[in-house]
């Protein structure tokens, strides 16, 4: 019978490129912060646009373009939040079904043996 000899394993520290981007990833909490900030900016731009009727516009500032850009960003953030909420609801439903199945199996085992099963009962899932 041949035995294998263990050799040296060396890692060169190469980083593997992934599809996820730190800059394009958006958590639900960060999305809410960005949404609030953009809503304030839109309100500020509208107020400045109304005040600009009497005064000349600052150089390089185009209110309609800025409003369209910020409103488009708000819409994209709203869509991202809706997708995050849908995924969370789907995950909660799946976890709730698993919890119910475990709880039911535990109750059946208790009825069959006449004793409470060992261990802690399964914890119910938390929404969100």
List, for residues 36-76, the tens digit of each pLDDT value.
Answer: 999 998 888 888 877 776 676 666 677 788 888 999 999 99
The number of folded domains in the chain is 1
Would the pLDDT of 15 be above 90?
Answer: no
Residue 119 lies in a domain: no
Q: What angle do CA 39, 41, 43 make, to 5 degrees?
A: 70
Q: Which residue segment(s) compose the domain that 52 sits in?
A: 28-113
* Interatomic CA distance for residues 21 and 18, integer angstroms: 8
Specify if 90 maps to a domain: yes
Gap between the Cα atoms of 90 and 85, Å rounded: 9
% of residues, the chain, pLDDT over 90: 43
Domain assignment present for residue 76? The answer is: yes
Residue 123 lies in a domain: no
106 pLDDT more than 90: yes
């Amino acid at each position: 019978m041949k035995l294998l000899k263990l050799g040296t394993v060396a890692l060169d520290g190469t980083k593997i490129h992934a599809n996820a981007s730190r800059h394009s990833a958006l958590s639900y909490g960060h999305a809410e912060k960005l949404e609030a900030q953009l809503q304030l900016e839109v309100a500020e731009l509208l107020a400045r646009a109304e005040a600009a009727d009497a005064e000349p516009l600052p150089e390089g500032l185009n209110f309609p373009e800025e409003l369209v850009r910020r409103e488009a960003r708000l819409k994209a953030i709203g869509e991202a939040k809706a997708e995050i909420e849908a995924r969370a609801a789907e995950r909660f439903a799946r976890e709730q079904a698993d919890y119910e199945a475990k709880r039911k199996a535990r109750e059946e085992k208790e009825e069959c043996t006449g004793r409470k099963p060992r261990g802690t009962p399964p914890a119910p899932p938390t929404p969100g």
